[in-house]
Amino acid sequence: MDYLYDDTTIYVILFIVAFFASLIDSIAGGGGLLTTPSMLLVGMPPLNVLATNKFQSCFGTFTSTFNYYKNGLLVEKKRVLYFVLAFTGSSIGTLLVSRISNETLESVIPILLISAAIFFITNKGPSGVKQNEKLLIIFNLVVFAIGFYDGFFGPGTGSFFVLSFIIIKGANIMQATAITKLLNFASNFAAFIIFAFQGYVLWYLGLTMAVAQIAGAYTGSRFAIKNGEKVVRPVLVIVSILLSIRILIG
């Protein structure tokens, strides 16, 4: 492939990018804000970018999930159900990906992300919402829809998951972040499998970036666990705003 730089330079640049992307993603999501544009800038074809990005992201989200689980923050009782819903939604979204859908979403998602940022600034704790059967069914659809969205577009997925668990399920930010990493892994893994069967994954580059993803996710999730909501909340706000700006400027 006709890259802008020689292979060694590309690997070094993207290794560094993947580390910092994973570090940020493990705290508040939005790692694709760094990795996707970086891979495009070095001359990689878009489908290879999407496929390889999903592959290497699996390692970061899995590492973050394990860290949160090990520290007792992955407490959502229906995590297996939500994993399946996010996985299924992402699978369908990846299969149905289209440019028209992207254009429609690009005009709506910045508004949702800015709204998410405002919510994280003004909200001071769990919503204390009373759960009922109808609400839980709706929430199942929300998880599926966010997984679907991640499969064919992606930016802001982490913020939407966190926001949903706080508003609808009444989780605190740390618990919402922990389950979000698991569901991010589910949606990433589903998309990766489909792209892999289609032959779009660049394996050597993906594995190189995966090493950086593991290191970044371990560092970031440990930092978030140690410092708690006082770190996670402002990072969620910043990431939501940056994602909005990135999408708006194209």
Between 241 and 88, whose confidence is greater?
88
pLDDT in tens, 47-88: 888 889 999 999 999 999 999 999 999 999 999 999 999 999
Name the least confident of 80-89, 124-133, 202-211.
Answer: 124-133
Distance in angstroms (rounded) separating the CA atoms of residues 101 and 152: 8
Any domain includes 131: yes
Q: Does 225 map to a domain?
A: yes
pLDDT at 100: 43
Please report whether residue 1 resides in a domain. Answer: no
Whether 122 is covered by a domain: the verdict is yes
Q: Does 2 fall in a domain?
A: no
Give per-residue pLDDT as tens, 25-51.
898 777 877 888 888 888 888 888 888
The CA distance from 172 to 127, in Å, is 8
216 domain residue, yes or no: yes
Q: How far apart are CA 102 and CA 155, in angstroms?
A: 11
pLDDT at residue 113 in the model = 61
Where is average pLDDT lowest: 68-77, 168-177, 205-214, 217-226? 168-177
pLDDT digits (tens, 9 = 90+) for 79-110: 999 999 999 999 998 888 644 445 555 566 56
- The residue segments making up the domain with residue 140 are 7-249
Predicted confidence (pLDDT) per residue in 136-195, tens digit: 788 999 999 999 988 877 777 888 898 889 888 888 889 999 999 999 999 999 999 999
Q: Is 44 helix (H, G, I), strand (E, B) or coil?
A: coil
Average pLDDT over residues 190-219: 94
Domain count, the chain: 1
DSSP 178-241: HHHHHHHHHHHHHHHHHHHHTT---HHHHHHHHHHHHHHHHHHHHHHHHHTHHHHHHHHHHHHH
- Cα distances (angstroms) measured from residue 11 to each of 19, 37, 59, 164: 12, 15, 17, 36
Q: What is the pLDDT of residue 238?
A: 80
pLDDT for residue 104: 57
